[in-house]
Structure 1
């Protein structure tokens, strides 16, 4: 029997890979060919908005957009019960939100700020259907070692920082900068799988890759 899909309201290949790796059939509700770096008006921070409020708002907006897009692209009633997942990630240091770098100069500034410091990474996940929705937030702490100017400039030259919150990707070359993390590695990547699968299990979509557990619902509380 073919399992029902999970709809992902994100163009992030990392989020899709994480869900697919758990055995979910993933349908992307986003234009994966669209520009993924910074552009004016993209997820702008509101006046006096905290990192917590920002990531809650932007993830919820992505979820609402996903609901609207799914209704247009998949109007069949059979898809109404399939969960939609949306998420957003914010990097912050001393209360300042470090988004996607606008240019190389800002990417360098971000990395110089993070060098030798511990910063916060929050990912908010929304999951649900038209009639039921839930959310969870993963908070992690990431400690960078002190970076040399050559390392900073070399990393920016790779182009890797420009589509990532805070100007780095933990799963990429920036992994060599990180001394310690406290929290969720996948949350820092952009989709905390513990919290996400717990939400999906409540919505009737346990982890398919663990379906061999004698029919038990895979995924629980985090």
Structure 2
């Protein structure tokens, strides 16, 4: 028993250090790519600014694009956690909408996932076709936890058509709302969460107006 105690704090410390390194890589990569352009920024520059080796960067992230898009993965985990708390009403798009807004409302106080990261990410995406292209793959590969939470609620496999359709529809609505809210990337980080909520709400309402209600009426 005595020999087991020293190992437990070390394991926890290792995980914290790994997360700190990951966050540092993300932070400096977003700063560099935002200030000097995605194509002009190298993995070597990111590694040097983060005080790690290029091999370490590659160990955490498969592609340079993945570093820029990493906040999306972290946000997806938070939304998945919130989705599991939502009541089951049969309207999973509404549940996703409410879960997303609940996370957004708390994001201003979340120091582990600064909203400034999303602003930088959006600016970089606008200037880089490679990042925009990768973001589409990222939705499929890096939101597995969100899909799993949705599948649990529906009693289906996470790869089922129903789950993929609902998740894909929600991602499209959210993405359209954020891309159309151009002020989101230029305002202060403190004001950004409120603008994001407004953008997503507007897109969701418009989706219901042009798609959901006409389809229901036609049936």
TM-score clears 0.5: no
Structure holding more helix per residue = 2
Q: Which TM-score band applies after superposition, normalised by the shorter structure?
A: under 0.3
Structure holding more strand per residue = 1
TM (normalized to structure 2)?
0.28
